[in-house]
Amino acid sequence: MPKRCQLTGVGPRAGRNVAHSNVKTCRRFDPNLQRVHLQSEALGRRVPLRVTTRALRTVQKHGSLDVFLLRTDDRKLAPEAVRLKRSVRKALSG
């Protein structure tokens, strides 16, 4: 399973460990992913997602998953989130 946030698209980053002797070794910084079920009022169901803790805090700050998706620009969302945003917008309009 890819280590990528389904809302923001944040993935692993590369970096280096630097020892006391100044020896540098490559390493990977994985995002802090959590499996959560977020309630969507527009869809009337809970949506299972793997999101970073930072994205989860942002969703809570906006108040709900629907508000977060509708307020966020498509360029800042992952492809799964854009599809979810379209279904939320369709449910709200219809």
What span, in angstroms and rounded, lies between the C-alpha atoms of 79 and 14? 23
23-42 confidence digits (pLDDT tens): 999 999 999 999 999 999 99
SS3 39: strand
Please name each of the domains of the chain with its CATH number: 13-93 (2.30.170.40)
Residue 89: predicted pLDDT = 96
What span, in angstroms and rounded, lies between the C-alpha atoms of 67 and 33? 21
Q: How confident is the model at residue 1 (pLDDT cuts 50, 70, 90)?
A: confident
67-81 confidence digits (pLDDT tens): 999 999 999 999 999
